[in-house]
Amino acid sequence: MKCSIGKLVAGDLLAESVHSEPAELNELLQTLLFSQLFANLKSGSSGKFDSPGTWWSSYDNAMLHTHWSLLDNRNRTFKPKSTSTLGINALLEEFLLPQLASAQTQDIRQLLTQMTRLPTTDPLAMQFQTHVLKMPDRRNGHSTIALQIGVLESATQRASLSATFSTSKAVGTSLLSQTFTGSQIVGDIHVRFTRYAWDPASYRKGTEEHPSPRSHVLDFLAGAQDRLILAIPCEVTDGADQA
């Protein structure tokens, strides 16, 4: 089976279902990283976990600045029944995959398979865990997961699902395949489906007096893209130290 091309952008997983020119794809990925880091800066280091609505407002503003247009935005907040069982896969099956073409759903599933097979000491696995999981602290005894999983539907269009929830259950290194009962969910689950379209020509447009958004993004990132945008390999050997 042909595997999809995947990227980890800080904590966001992105499957690429279409062929993109490498230079343009790099620019696109940089805008996504910029939007995450800008939202972190505006909402504080834990804003993504503690105030998802505020964080997403800052994220949307950053996306707009880099010439992404929001085509579709669906939000849902709910509390699962105590006897129900759910996990990341269940949320994807309900809120993201029905919005995609069959080839794209396959790419998403394959991307998750690749990530779950990574050894826990792999830099990809460690970066993902760092950016999507807030561990319990002295103020509370629960962990919070905040992640975004998406796919490039075309060279300039992305569909994605964001999910934020807290749990009293210990979260392992295999959180993408981990399940939780409704009684283990603390508070509400927040999910958001979005579809964005990007205008690369406008993103690059600028003058000496008014620099392009691209130049602003590169100045802001200051090289962070080299360590936070990582390629997910197509062939992953099962990790012996999986939790």
CATH number where 184 lies:
3.40.198
Confidence of residue 240 (pLDDT cuts 50, 70, 90): very low
pLDDT at 148: 98
Q: What is the DSSP letter of 138?
A: T
Range of the domain at 176: 5-227
pLDDT at 242: 42
Q: Is residue 197 part of a domain?
A: yes
The residue with greater pLDDT, 46 or 97, is 97
- As a whole number of angstroms, the distance between CA 120 and CA 125 comes to 6
Residue 97 in tokens? 């995959």
Residue 230 in tokens? 């990582």
- As a whole number of angstroms, the distance between CA 96 and CA 125 comes to 23
Domain total in the chain: 1
In whole numbers, what is the pLDDT of the chain averaged over residues? 92
Contacts of 152 (CB under 8 A, 6+ apart): 14, 15, 16, 17, 18, 20, 28, 158
Q: Is residue 241 part of a domain?
A: no
pLDDT at 80: 95
pLDDT at 139: 77
Segment 84-95 mean pLDDT: 96
Confidence of residue 62 (pLDDT cuts 50, 70, 90): very high
Confidence of residue 133 (pLDDT cuts 50, 70, 90): very high
Position 65 pLDDT exceeds 80:
yes
Q: Is residue 217 part of a domain?
A: yes
Segment 221-225 mean pLDDT: 97
Confidence of residue 172 (pLDDT cuts 50, 70, 90): confident
Confidence of residue 243 (pLDDT cuts 50, 70, 90): very low
Q: Is residue 21 part of a domain?
A: yes
- As a whole number of angstroms, the distance between CA 83 and CA 121 comes to 34
Segment 195-214 mean pLDDT: 94
Q: Is residue 233 part of a domain?
A: no
What is the full DSSP assignment across 31-61?
HHHHHHHHHHHHH-TTHHHH-HHHHHHHHHH
pLDDT at 77: 96
Torsion, Cα 9 164 101 4, to 10 degrees, reads 30
The residue with greater pLDDT, 139 or 46, is 46
- As a whole number of angstroms, the distance between CA 77 and CA 211 comes to 40
pLDDT at 236: 60
Confidence of residue 1 (pLDDT cuts 50, 70, 90): very low
- As a whole number of angstroms, the distance between CA 234 and CA 114 comes to 7
Please give the backbone phi and psi of residue 66, each rounded to the nearest 5 degrees, phi first: -95, 15
Segment 3-29 mean pLDDT: 89
Q: Is residue 51 part of a domain?
A: yes
Q: Is residue 11 part of a domain?
A: yes
Segment 16-41 mean pLDDT: 93
Q: Is residue 140 part of a domain?
A: yes
- As a whole number of angstroms, the distance between CA 226 and CA 95 comes to 32
User: Are the CB atoms for 134 and 147 separated by under 8 Å?
Assistant: no
User: Are the CB atoms for 159 and 96 separated by under 8 Å?
Assistant: yes
Contacts of 190 (CB under 8 A, 6+ apart): 52, 53, 75, 76, 77, 162, 163, 164, 165
Nearest to 56 by CA among 230, 67, 124, 70: 70
